[in-house]
Amino acid sequence: DGGITQSPKYLFRKEGQNVTLSCEQNLNHDAMYWYRQDPGQGLRLIYYSQIVNDFQKGDIAEGYSVSREKKESFPLTVTSAQKNPTAFYLCASTGSMENEQFFGPGTRLTVL
């Protein structure tokens, strides 16, 4: 079955540590996205990538970094520079000229 996987589902880290969230898709989509969702809030765009080896900052990129070395993979690193990293992180992808964004199950990150 085609889809997007994110791991792990729950992640706990100590303050000051960098952490990398995994996102893999087998939908053959070119575009991939990372969103952050806080309780009672909408989805805010962190980074997006339209093609391998290229990515762009979204609306709240500070304290985050990404890479896109393979079409299938778009990992997100939450660095110690992110002031309030506890949140639900969602990865998404979309095919060229398609209307729908497909979302992964999300990773809930808690920084202690």
Which residues contact other proteins (rule: CB under 8 A)? 30-31, 33, 35, 40-45, 48, 50-51, 56, 58, 90, 94, 96-106
Residue 62 or residue 98: which is nearer to other proteins going by CB?
A: 98
Q: How far is the first Cα of the chain from the last one, in angstroms, to the nearest whole number?
A: 36
- The sign of the torsion formed by the CA atoms of 27, 60, 112, 108 equals negative
Least distance in angstroms from the C-beta of 16 to other proteins: 27
68: amino acid identity, one letter: R
Least distance in angstroms from the C-beta of 49 to other proteins: 9
Residue 73 or residue 80: which is nearer to other proteins going by CB?
A: 73
